Amino acid sequence: MRKKHLAYWWCQLGGWTFYGLSLLFFIWVFHLDFSTILINRILLSVSLGLLFTHILRIIILELKLTPPIFGKQWILLFAITLLVCILYSYINSTIVELRQWYDPKIKATVPERFFLNLANDSPIILVWLSIYYLWHYIENSRNTKIDSVKMESLVKELQLKTIKAHINPHFIFNALNSIRALVDENPERARTAITELSNILRSSMQAEKIETTTLEKELSIVKDYLELEQIRFEDRLKVEYEIDEDTLDQQVPPMMLQTLVENAIKHGISKQVNGGFIKVSSDFTDSHHELIVENTGHLNAKDSTEGFGIVSTINRLKLLYGNNANFEIRNINGNMVKARVILPVTAVSFIK
């Protein structure tokens, strides 16, 4: 605030000093005499201009007439400005008369001098007012843009947190259902499943604090999850990994790959009487990082547009990468579904 106040006074002093120097310049151009009376009247005009424009600013701030203003506020501003111009011209004329700062040969009456000052000096006050309002409009526009950027950033942050908040409970409930199915049938395996779930929950809680993680860490969660699911599906679930080791340092959204794998289990493998096959791949393709999850099953139109795993993946990629990332899911080879994520390559993989 102090910085703005200081800037205002520098502009005031600089602007009115420039106005006074401009008058002196025109006197010199038109070869007029630099008399004491003329200099005094210029100093008077500059001093009164500085004083009355400052008073005008105080009134504008007190009546909250700073931009943006609407309707009757414009009428009020016009009335106040006119009053300031009248007072400025009246006091200027009165002081000139009292101090006798005029040429006796061409002496004008006080009313004549008043209207002459009103006509000559009012425009400079209107120019001051225009500059003052233009400054405020520019500042408001800049602040609005800054607030818009901050709000957009906040919205993105809240959306990401909301997506994550949905991911974790969604995964936990599915995992607990898997464990519940084993409790009576095979207690030993149920205990093993609980250990696997503990490892996954520990990793997911750490992932909640970050926006991206390395593929290596994300892959460890996926492997724990699939090991847990293999306890439930036994021989009906076949898993294969095709991972380029150079991609392990690549940054990916935490829990995203796990969500796609979970989606493949829920909508693909679990609906197959004989179970099925899941393949997780990671590689560099056309200067991009490509993640692929393939699974046995068939993609329905509703699953491709409303499924939580798909919707959350699309939203997270858009929020984190904008147009630099892409996601697609489609049926391939009759009874297979392929989910493909394209991510920008991070430079770390090339510094190995």
Length of the chain: 352
Alpha-carbon span 230 to 227, nearest angstrom? 5
Output phi, psi for 47, to 5 deg.
-65, -45
Q: What is the pLDDT of residue 307?
A: 63
pTM: 0.55
Say if residue 226 is in the same domain as residue 118: no
User: Distance of CA 5 to CAs 34, 39, 59, 132, 144, Å?
Assistant: 35, 30, 16, 13, 21
Alpha-carbon span 207 to 218, nearest angstrom? 9
Alpha-carbon span 270 to 142, nearest angstrom? 55
pLDDT in tens, 280-294: 999 999 889 999 999
Say if residue 196 is in the same domain as residue 242: yes
Say if residue 190 is in the same domain as residue 285: yes
Place of tokens 């009292």: 98
Out of 41-45, 76-80, 166-170, 257-261, least confident range: 166-170
Task: Give the tokens for residue 245.
Answer: 């080791």
Q: Is residue 269 part of a domain?
A: yes
Say if residue 260 is in the same domain as residue 323: yes
Say if residue 319 is in the same domain as residue 202: yes
pLDDT in tens, 22-44: 888 888 887 677 778 788 888 99
Look over the chain and give the mean of its residue pLDDT values, rounded to a whole number: 83
Whether 272 and 240 have beta carbons less than 8 Å apart is answered as no
Output phi, psi for 129, to 5 deg.
-60, -40
Q: Is residue 283 part of a domain?
A: yes
pLDDT in tens, 32-77: 777 787 888 889 989 999 999 999 999 998 998 887 788 888 899 9
Instruction: Say if residue 203's pLDDT is above 80.
Output: no
Q: Is residue 36 part of a domain?
A: yes
The residue range of the domain holding 290 is 186-350
User: Distance of CA 173 to CAs 121, 176, 189, 285, Å?
Assistant: 78, 5, 18, 35
The last residue of one of the domains, among 95, 129, 148, is 148
Q: Is residue 259 part of a domain?
A: yes
Residue type, position 147, single letter: D
The last residue of one of the domains, among 102, 129, 148, is 148
Q: Give residue 248's pLDDT band: very low, low, confident or very high (50, 70, 90).
A: very high
Kindly provide the b/e burial profile for residues 301-324, where b requires at least 16 CB atoms within 10 angstroms of the residue's own CB: eebbeebebbebbbebbebbeeee
Q: What is the pLDDT of residue 117?
A: 78
Q: Is residue 165 part of a domain?
A: no
279 bridge partner residues = 240, 294
Alpha-carbon span 276 to 295, nearest angstrom? 7
The last residue of one of the domains, among 102, 125, 148, is 148
pLDDT in tens, 186-196: 788 788 888 88
Query: What's the total number of domains in the chain?
Result: 2
**CATH number of the CATH domain containing 343:** 3.30.565.10
Instruction: Say if residue 167's pLDDT is above 60.
Output: no
Say if residue 144 is in the same domain as residue 190: no
Q: Give residue 1's pLDDT band: very low, low, confident or very high (50, 70, 90).
A: low
Out of 5-14, 183-192, 271-280, 313-322, least confident range: 183-192
Q: Give residue 171's pLDDT band: very low, low, confident or very high (50, 70, 90).
A: low
Q: Is residue 161 part of a domain?
A: no
Q: Is residue 178 part of a domain?
A: no
Which helix (H) or strand (E) segment is 295 a member of? strand 288-296
Q: Is residue 91 part of a domain?
A: yes
Say if residue 139 is in the same domain as residue 226: no
Instruction: Say if residue 241's pLDDT is above 90.
Output: yes
pLDDT in tens, 97-142: 888 777 666 667 778 878 887 887 788 888 999 998 888 888 888 8
Say if residue 211 is in the same domain as residue 264: yes
What is the chain's alpha carbon radius of gyration, rounded to the nearest angstrom? 38
Task: Give the tokens for residue 188.
Answer: 């030993």
Whether omega for the bond prior to residue 104 falls within 30 degrees of 0, making it cis, is no
Say if residue 18 is in the same domain as residue 66: yes
DSSP conformation class of 82:
H
Whether 345 and 250 have beta carbons less than 8 Å apart is answered as yes
Which helix (H) or strand (E) segment is 137 a member of? helix 110-183
Q: Give residue 182's pLDDT band: very low, low, confident or very high (50, 70, 90).
A: confident
Say if residue 8 is in the same domain as residue 140: yes
3-class secondary structure, 234: helix
Alpha-carbon span 24 to 32, nearest angstrom? 9
Say if residue 136 is in the same domain as residue 226: no
Segment 288-310 mean pLDDT: 80
Say if residue 194 is in the same domain as residue 326: yes
